[in-house]
Amino acid sequence: MDDALPKALPPEKSDPSEDWTIVLPRRGKKNRTVNKFVIPKRQMEVQLWAPIDLETDPERESKLKQKMDTCIKKFENSEFYRNLLSQIRNPDIVDKFSKVLGSEEKMQMVVYGIGSIESFEPPRLQLCLAILLQRSFDWIGGIELFDPIISLTESKVLTSLGCTVLSINEQGRRRAVKPTFFFMPHCEAELYDNLLEANWEVDRLNRLVIFGNSFEAYEQHASLCKSSAVTSSRKHVLAIRSFAEELGVDTFSDDSFRAFHGTSWHFFGPSAEADLQIIL
């Protein structure tokens, strides 16, 4: 994590006068060079991030790497994974992914909120799925990943598994400048809401796929709880329901249930900006 400057720039520039340029010295270089990146002013809560623990040891890393390798092998042969693969290969869902891809060949995968892969089984199973999907489908590009609780050991293992660990906390506000597959199992509702808000335009919403908590369940919960604080923190999640298609993921074994219960694929299809005015 020494070269922990952003490997991906989250925002797309719109009006440069609204942007802030951040200039950082690179650590560990004798002739100090600078890195510049730009964050739109509207997204100023985006924060630079580095793991809190600055220590790791090779033994701990290799133990976790072995644990992940074993988990991937086991998961690949699980009934849950085989079923999910056939769900994705169903012509109906293939068609939805093709629409999101448009003329692009690949869709970047952004993983938010994976949790601690060292401490808990559900985050490990979720990561196995992200990695196996990326290995199985050539239209899925690289994996970028962020969770503020990731340790340095986890970060190193994630990197060794081919993931790019982001060093800024985007607060879920990545704009889908290109087709993007957001892999967010069991994230907080506010993170989905931030993501939708940052992409609240017809073209952008059509360019993204979310694998995460059921928005239909959020809608049912909102109709029961009627708390204005709850509904206002999820207003984009609730408003998108009119232009969203949701396909649930089946979970039947205990392991897959803990890692994926209540999870759905979400595709969006507003056809005109006017459709999105309901939120204003």
Ligand X SMILES: C[S@@+](CC[C@H](N)C(=O)[O-])C[C@H]1O[C@@H](n2cnc3c(N)ncnc32)[C@H](O)[C@@H]1O
Sites of contact with ligand X (CB under 6 A): 112-115, 120, 122-123, 126, 146-149, 169, 171-172, 185-188, 191
Give the nearest distance from C-beta 128 to ligand X in angstroms.
12
Closest CB to ligand X among residues 61, 170:
170
Closest CB to ligand X among residues 96, 174:
174
Give the nearest distance from C-beta 201 to ligand X in angstroms.
22
Q: How far apart are CA 41 and CA 20, in angstroms?
A: 6
Closest CB to ligand X among residues 110, 240:
110
Give the nearest distance from C-beta 152 to ligand X in angstroms.
16
Closest CB to ligand X among residues 187, 240:
187
Q: How far apart are CA 47 and CA 205, in angstroms?
A: 24
Closest CB to ligand X among residues 211, 267:
211
Strand partners, 180: 108, 208
Give the nearest distance from C-beta 190 to ligand X in angstroms.
8
Q: How far apart are CA 277 and CA 255, in angstroms?
A: 41
**Is the distance from CB of 175 to CB of 10 less than 8 angstroms?**
yes
Give the nearest distance from C-beta 210 to ligand X in angstroms.
13
Closest CB to ligand X among residues 4, 202:
4
Q: How far apart are CA 49 and CA 5, in angstroms?
A: 9
How far is residue 275 CA from its own chain's centroid?
A: 25
Give the nearest distance from C-beta 110 to ligand X in angstroms.
10
